[in-house]
Structures are given as C-alpha cells and as structure tokens.
Amino acid sequence: MTEHIHAAPAPVGGRLLTPVTFTCGVLILAALAILAVRFVLGLGAVTHLNDGYPWGIWVVADVVIGSAFACGGFSIAMLVYIFNKGEYHPLVRPALLASLFGYTLAGVGVIFDLGRWWNFWHILSPAYASPNSVMFEVALCISLYIVVMWIEFSPTFMEKWGMRDARRKLNKVMFFFIALGTVLPMMHQSSLGSLLIVFGTQIHPLWQTMLLPLIFLLSAITIGYAVVLFESCLAAAGYRRSIEMHLLTPLAKVMLGVLAVFMLVRFGDLLWRGALGHAFAANLQAFMFWLETACFLSPFVLLRSERQRRNPARLFVGGALLMLGGVLLRINAFLVGYDTGSGWSYFPSVPELLVTIGMFAIEVLGYIVITRRFPVLPREDAPPTATPAALRAATR
Amino acid sequence: MNGRREFLRRTLAGGAAVAGTAACPSAHARGNAEIPPEAIGLLFDSTLCIGCKACVAACKAANDLPLDYNSPVDALWDMPLDTTARTYNVIKAWQSGTGTQRNQQTDGYAFMKSSCLHCIDPSCVSACPVSAMTKDPATGIVQYDADACIGCRYCVAACPFGIPKYDYDSPTGRIGKCELCRHLLPEGKYAACAEVCPTGATLFGKVSALKAEAHRRLALQEGAPTTWPRGNLDTADQPAWEGPAPRYVQHVYGEKEVGGTQMLKLAAVPFEQLGHKPLPERSFSSQSETLQHTLYGGLVLPLAVLGVMSWVARRNVKHDDETDSQDAHAGEKRHD
C-alpha cells in the first residue's frame, strides 16, 4: 500500500441540541407514535397497502433504497482495501458510519413491515430455512453484514474508551471482516434485484430481466460513491469544515466509471432483450423509465471535466441526482413497473411517509451525535482551507 | 491513471463473471417441477357454472372463515368482489354487450371461479423465506402454516394469479388462501366447493383423471349429449347428469401455464376475457431458483470471492494498520 499519512479521526465536538437535531427528534417521535398505532391496529390502519401492492415504501424505501444508500461503506472499502487506493482512507470511517446506520435501520425497519413480526427470528433459524427463497438469502446476508459492520466500526469506540489491547487484537483479523464486508453486500445488493425475478411477467419488461442482480449491484456500488460525495459536502457545510476536494474530485471520476459500466449493462440488456421499445410507449412506465435514465445520465454532464469535478456544488448535485436515479430504479422496478392485475393502486399514506421520514431522521440524528462525540471524521487542526464562504466565492 | 484503469478492468471482469453465471445458468439449471403422481385438484368448467355461489358459502363454512363485508358502512352482505384473507373462493361474473346469452362472446355472460390454482411449481413456495408456504409432496396441495409465517407478504406479491392475501385489518394478520380443504381429507371428505356444486362445474379428483376428463370434454361435438360427473370424480359419490355439450374454447387453462396447475379450467369464452392472463410455460420459480443456485449453489462462488477478497485485503490492510495506529497514538498524545 502506498504510504498516506492522514489526519487521525477525531470527534467534531459541539452542541448536540441544534435546530437540526431537534427537528430529527420530533420526526422520530411522530414515526414512533404511528408505529404504535400500526402494532395495535394492524398494517391497514396506517398504510395504503393492499393485496395488489402488498409491498409499499416501508419495503422499497426503508429497506431496498435505505440499504442501497448505505453502500458508501462497502464502495469505499472496496476502493481502499481491495483496489489499494489508500489515499481515500479518511473517507472510510464516515462512510462506514452512515452504512452502519443505514443497514441497522433497514434491518429494524423490516420488522415494522412484517405482519407477523414476532416470528421474525424464524428467518435465521435452520428449522425454517428456505434456501430456494431469494428473501431468505437477502435476510441472512443483511443480518450478517450488520454484525460485520459493527465489528468494522468498533475501533472507533475502542479508541474513545481507550481499549488499546482489544483494538490491536482486532486489527490482526480485521482483513477478514473487511473481506466479508465486501462479499456480503455484493450478495444481498444483487439479490435485492433478484427478489423480483420470481414475480415474472408481473414486472414490466423495462425492469424484468435475469440481469437484475447485476443491475442492482452495479447501481448500489455507484450509489455508494454518490452518497459519499453527498455526505461529505453536507458534513462540510453543516460542521463548517473544509471539503476534502482532493479526495472527492478523483472519487467522482471513479463513480462515473462504475456508472458508465452500469449504463452499458442496463441498455445492453434492454437492447438484447428487445425491450427498449417499451420505453417509447405513452404511459407512466415509459415516463418513469426516462426520468430514471435522465438522473443516471446527469452526472456525466454535470461532472464531465476535471474542472467541474473540483466544484463542490456540482459534486453535491451530481451525487444527489445519481442517488435519485437509484431511488427511481428501485421504485420503478418494485412499484411503478409492478402490475398484478387491474383494479389495484397504491400511493403511500401520510403516516406511511412519516414513518419512512422518521427512519431517515434517525440516521441523520445518529450520524450527528456520533461524529460530534466519537472519532469518525478526520481531525481538522489547521484553519479550513475552504470555508463555505470561500467555496461560495469559488463557485461563482 | 494506471490504478483507475485497473479498477475499471477489475470491475468489468467481476461484472462479466456475474453476468456470465447469470446469463448461462447451465450448471444449476432446473426446469419446471414435476407433479406428484397422486396429486389432487379441481376441474372448473365455466360452461356449467350457474353462478349460485353455493361453493363460496360452503368454503366459508368448511374453513370457519369470518364474515367479509363489502363495505364497512353498509355491513349487510358478505359478498367480496375478489378473494381476501377471509374469503378463499369467489365466483366472478363476466358479461359483454347486453349480457343475455349464456357462454357466448357477444352479448354474453359467463362465470369464473377464483381460488388457489395449486401450481405444480408455485411462486409463493419459492418466495417464502421461512417455509410457511409449502407444497405437500403427496397431494401437491400448496399449504400455509401461520405459525411459521413472518408476514412478509412476498407470496402475495409473487403469485402470478394474485391468490395469497394478507389481512391488513388485524394486528396479527395472516395469509389466507384455499388449501383444498386439506383438513377435511383425513375425514374422508374433499374440497367443500366441489362437494356442494350442484352442476359439477367444480369437480374434485386426481389431477391425472381431471385432465383426461377436461380433454374428453374438449373433444365433444357442440350439442352432443354427454354425462356430467359431479362431486368427486374418483369416487363418483354423486350421480352424474346428462346434457348437451357447449362450444368450448380449445384450451385447458392450467395445463401448461407457469409449469401447470392442479386446478384446471374450461370455458366457452376466451380466458383472457375472464381475467386469466396468458402466462409462459416456464415457471417463474424455476427461473428464480436457477439464478439463485447458480450464484450460491454450495456457497462455492461466494466463498471463492471471499477467499480472493481476504487475500487482497490482508495485503492492503497491513500497512494501513501501521499508519493508522501511528495516527491514533499521535491523536491520543495530542488529546493528553
């Protein structure tokens, strides 16, 4: 590994109660209240779920999209430890933290959606094992990955609490957990796409393909980089820190590279199956397909040259649009492109949306609390090289 | 630059490997599942159904199901328009034009039964992550175990016929679907819908016998007199009746669809008009399972990838640790 001396991670410090954390707290309380109703009266009391659309946003947003957004840790770990790009090391911890929250919440979020949640443990019990089921594999992999990520992240707590021996021992075997931490997401991020294959012709041809696992995996990896761009810009703005442009500019290039592979696979598959014609029909599915495609293509325009990739505003918007493309791919494949027969419709209810918003609020709140109190973000001793004001001036 | 090129190269190679295994699933390919030799099922003949709904009521009674009001405001009639978690069987009416001619396409009407088709290779069983939905190896009945079920509703979403339904109005909601009255079989009884049917439109029996009966009917000349068995085809427990043959659509629905079903259907009106979409002959579960087992069969591929990743990570993490712990110590010193 090429030598890279980076500033060690350190707590950001500062007050925990801010307008942002307070808002998150309120949103979380609202979500908890709705969940209380859901557990007493049933799913129908708070959601618009029905037998034509048995899966709503609690599955698609909280779990499928939530876990894709949580691929930052996986994508950066691949870059640093597998492709030996040590220069990106300062991004590992913050990305891993966001992933940890994303996945842990996705795991907990599943329980809110399960109609018979008290049987949840069956999915991990050999007595009920169902190896033919794609969901069985997804559940096992995600559960295991959450444990692996907590292990990967534990040095942060060990440093805080001065457990130097434990940290040294863990370091000896960390490579194995890092390796597991790349294989498990590959398995379940692809399988989150494979979930739809058994739906057969109920999924619109623009999204139903045997290449779903590859399409979902590649999009998750590229979303992982987009999330890091998005988060780094947001953390820099929120904490008035300098933006790590020397890392984010080349990272954006990596992101575009993976995105290009994704687009080749996506459109190659559509052409090969002869399904691209459906994109020119005058219906909602075709419209949503082009919206999704536009989001995936926009980073190529926004971040086309080195000069543009040095612009934090463009990195932020490019990352956000790529994330939106990933959101649309998943919503389209699971909901817009899903047709189980005439007469059924679904649009999430307000309480349903509030729970999903509350879930993302937990992530934001947790990220703020941990980065302020635990060593996650790189220490920033020197005066910021690029303050938000300077950045604004630079982007003009 | 080299690094980036290498990164792209490796990404492409990895992608190609996954794509290769996904696209050419020869290693673990499985075709459609085979039907158990003694499988039992139903034959529904739309041309014989008079829409009396005796089967709907009998199903409710046999399965001890609660009332299922059409509307909570006007809680008078237990007549849902489709199957629900509390109604496993409904008869749907179809009509066109004036709707006066029985079993005719123009200005006609016809009835269609909606209940579980008991697929030979069911999507719901393939989908279920906790073996709550299973296929009985002897009877072939697709059965549900609420005690195992986690309520994920993957079966509801996966079924190409929209059959398993979940009870969203209950905090302990369960899946509801026809299980071919499997609880009555040990008592020597059979599916309540077939037992009660006055015309033999719903006929119970071994699938092999039902299939032969379906093809016998399709071969009949329109108007030719023939006998119509009722109840249980295997035991002939109810007297048959005589009547003229209708003009059938030459298609046994359920013989080939998604690998075949144990419920077979005949009609005088094209099935698509009766709400039965055309479906491919290859079962969706065989496609899904072929893909899954190609990627994960014996965990060979994941373990191989894990091995490579561990080897690479070990090489790259070593130095990283050193600089990392130096950094950490430096950080701690500065803390003190």
Same domain, B120 and B205: yes
B53-62 pLDDT, tens digit per residue, is 999 999 999 9
The answer on B83 and B214 residing in a single domain is: yes
Pair of tokens at residue B313 = 């990570």
Phi and psi torsions of A283, nearest 5°:
-145, 175
Tell whether A115 lies on the interface with B, counting CB pairs under 8 A.
yes
Q: Does residue A241 or residue B331 have the better pLDDT?
A: A241
**Residue B69: C-alpha distances to residues B74, B87, B156, B175 (Å):** 8, 10, 21, 18
Same domain, residue pair B70 and B215? yes
Answer whether A349 touches B (CB < 8 Å). Answer: no
Phi, psi for B218 (deg, rounded to 5): -65, -25
Contact assignment for A5 to B149 by CB distance below 8 Å? no
User: Which residues from B are below 8 Å from A136, CB to CB?
Assistant: 129-130
Q: How many CA atoms within 13 Å lie on the side-chain side of A225?
A: 26
Residues B23 and B107 in one domain: no
Task: Please give the average per-residue pLDDT across A237-262, as a whole number.
Answer: 91
B290: closest chain A residue by CA: A132
Question: How far B242 CA lies from chain A's nearest CA (Å)?
Answer: 37
Taking CB atoms and an 8 Å limit, are A117 and B150 in contact across chains? yes
Q: Write out the DSSP string of B267-326.
A: -SS-GGGGT-----SS-HHHHHHHHHHHHHGGGHHHHHHHHHHHHHHHHHHHHHHHHHHH
Q: Is A391 on the interface with B (CB under 8 A)?
A: no
In the block, residue with structure tokens 């994920």: B152
d(C-alpha B189, C-alpha B40), whole Å: 13
Looking at this protein, which amino acid is placed at residue B301?
Answer: L
For residue A26, what are the contacts with CB-CB under 8 A and spacing of at least 6?
Answer: none
Residue B18's pLDDT is what? 47
Q: Mutation target for A interface from B12, B147, B276, B316: give the one with most A CBs within 10 A.
A: B316
Q: Is A35 at the interface with chain B, CB within 8 A? A: no
CB-nearest partner of A132 from B23, B126, B275: B126
CB contact (8 A) between residue A116 and residue B167 = no
Residues near B80 by beta carbon (within 8 Å), at least 6 away in sequence: B68, B70, B86, B87, B90
CB contact under 8 A, A119 and B154: no
Q: Are residues B165 and B300 in the same domain?
A: no
Query: Which pLDDT belongs to residue B148?
Result: 95
CB spacing of A341 vs B130 below 8 angstroms = no
Q: Which residues of B touch A182 (CB under 8 A)?
A: 309, 313
Q: What is the pLDDT of residue B138?
A: 94
**Residue B246: per-residue pLDDT:** 94
Distance from CA of A157 to the nearest CA of B (A): 12
Give residue A73's identity as a one-letter amino acid code. G
pLDDT of residue B320: 47
CATH of domain A19-378: 1.20.1630.10
Q: Which of A153-157, A189-193, B163-167, B180-184 has the lowest mean pLDDT?
A: A153-157
In our burial notation (b when 16+ CB lie closer than 10 A, e otherwise), range B180-216 reads bbbeeeeeeebbbbbbbbebbbbbbbbbebbbebbee
Assess contact for B268 and B248: CB atoms under 8 A: yes
- Coil, strand, or helix at residue B27? coil
B103 shares a domain with B7: no
| Chain B residues closer than 8 Å to A8 by CB | 327-328, 330-331
| Chain B residues lying within 8 Å of A159, measured CB to CB | 328, 331-332
Residue A122 CA to residue B5 CA, distance in Å, equals 45
B175 Cβ contact partners less than 8 Å away, ≥ 6 residues apart: B85, B132, B133, B144, B146, B149, B151, B153, B155, B156, B164, B165, B166
Residues B210 and B140 in one domain: yes
Cβ(A346)–Cβ(A58) below 8 Å: no
CA dist B84 and B88 (Å) reads 6
Say if A353 is an interface residue toward chain B (CB within 8 Å): no
DSSP assignment of B218-237 equals HTSPTT-EEEEEESBTTTT-
- Chain B contact set for A183 (CB, 8 A): 302, 305-306, 309
B104 occurs within a structural domain: yes
Same domain, yes or no: B112 and B253? yes
Quick: pLDDT tens for B33-90.
999 999 999 999 999 999 999 999 999 999 999 888 766 666 777 788 889 999 999 9
Comparing alpha-carbon positions, the chain B residue that sits nearest to A138 is: B129
Q: Across the interface, do A178 and B313 touch by the CB < 8 Å criterion?
A: yes
Cβ of residue A74 closer than 8 Å to a chain B Cβ: no
> Taking the CA of residue A79 as centre, how many other CA atoms within 13 Å lie in the half-sphere pointing to its CB?
32
The whole-number pLDDT of residue B5 equals: 53
Q: Dmax over Cα atoms in chain A, in whole Å?
A: 64
Partners of A119 on chain B (C-beta within 8 Å) are 130, 147-151
Evaluate if residue A167 carries a pLDDT over 90.
no
A246 or B74, higher pLDDT: A246
Please give, one letter per residue, the 3-state secondary structure of chain A: CCCCCCCCECCCCCCCCCHHHHHHHHHHHHHHHHHHHHHHHCHHHCCCCCCCCCCCHHHHHHHHHHHHHCCHHHHHHHHHHHCCCHHHHHHHHHHHHHHHHHHHHHHHHHHHHCCCHHHHHHHHCHHHCCCCCHHHHHHHHHHHHHHHHHHHHHHHHHHHCCCHHHHHHHHHHHHHHHHHHHHHHHHHHHHHHHCCHHHHHHECCCCCCCCHHHHHHHHHHHHHHHHHHHHHHHHHHHHCCCCCHHHHHHHHHHHHHHHHHHHHHHHHHHHHHCCHHHHHCCCHHHHHHHHHHHHHHHHHHHCCCHHHHCCHHHHHHHHHHHHHHHHHHHHHHHHHCECCCCCCCCCCCHHHHHHHHHHHHHHHHHHHHHHHHCCCCECCCCCCCCCHHHHHHHHC
What does the CA dihedral A59, A65, A69, A70 come to, rounded to 10 degrees? 30
Strand B133-135 to B165-166 pairing: unpaired
Please give the structure tokens belonging to residue A192: 């989150």
Q: Pick the range with the lowest mean pLDDT from A143-157, A362-376, B309-323.
A: B309-323
Question: Chain B within 8 Å of A92 (Cβ-Cβ)?
Answer: no
| Interchain CB distance below 8 Å, B154 and A133 | yes
Interchain contact A8–B (C-beta under 8 A) = yes
Among residues B293, B252, B170, the alpha carbon closest in space to that of A191 is found at B293
Which residues in chain B have their CB less than 8 angstroms from residue A81's CB? 312-313, 316-317, 320
- Chain A residues touching B148 at Cβ < 8 A: 119, 122, 128
User: Does B323 share its domain with B195?
Assistant: no
Given this model, what pLDDT does residue B334 score? 37
Q: Do B327 and B205 belong together in one domain?
A: no
Distance CA A268, CA B12 (A): 14
Model pTM score: 0.88
Residue B74, classified by CB atoms within 10 Å of its CB into exposed (0-12), middle (13-18) or buried (19+), is exposed
Could you list the residue range(s) of the whole structural domain that residue B67 is in?
Answer: 40-281
Q: Is residue B237 part of a domain?
A: yes
Same domain, B26 and B159: no
> Do A315 and A248 touch, CB atoms closer than 8 A?
yes
Q: Is A383 on the interface with B (CB under 8 A)?
A: no
Best to test chain B binding among A37, A154, A198, A203 (most B CBs inside 10 Å): A198
pLDDT by residue, tens only, chain B of 336 residues: 455 555 445 545 544 444 444 444 444 678 999 999 999 999 999 999 999 999 999 999 999 998 887 666 667 777 888 899 999 999 999 999 998 988 888 899 999 999 999 999 999 999 999 999 999 999 999 999 999 999 999 999 999 999 999 999 999 999 999 999 999 999 999 999 999 999 999 999 999 999 999 999 999 999 999 999 999 999 999 999 999 999 999 999 999 999 999 999 999 999 999 989 899 999 999 999 999 888 888 888 999 999 999 988 888 876 444 444 444 444 333 333
The pLDDT of residue A87 is above 90: no
Is residue B35 domain-resident? no
What integer best gives the mean pLDDT of chain A?
90
Q: Which A residues in the span 269-328 are in contact with B, Cβ-Cβ below 8 Å?
A: none
Q: Which of residues 173-192 of A touch B (CB under 8 A)?
A: 174-176, 178-180, 182-183, 186-187, 190-191
| The predicted structure's pLDDT at residue A395 | 46
A6 touches chain B (CB under 8 A): yes
| Per-residue pLDDT reduced to its tens digit, A318-351 | 999 999 999 999 999 999 999 987 788 999 999 9
| Number of other residues whose CB lies within 10 A of the CB of residue B245 | 18
Within 10 angstroms of residue A210's Cβ, the number of other Cβ atoms is 18
Structural domains of chain B, count: 2
Residues B197 and B113 in one domain: yes
- How many beta-carbon pairs under 8 angstroms link A with B? 266
Residue A139 to residue B126, Cβ atoms within 8 A = no
Task: Specify whether the CB–CB gap between A185 and A74 falls below 8 A.
Answer: yes
CB < 8 Å to B7, chain A: 79, 83, 85, 254, 257
**Scanning every residue of chain B, which has its alpha carbon at the shortest distance from the alpha carbon of A169?**
B321
Sign of CA dihedral B183, B185, B191, B195: negative
Closest CB to B127: pick one of A128, A198, A214. Answer: A198
How far is the C-alpha of A269 from the C-alpha of B224, rounded, in Å?
53
Here the CATH number for the domain that contains residue B163 is 3.30.70.20
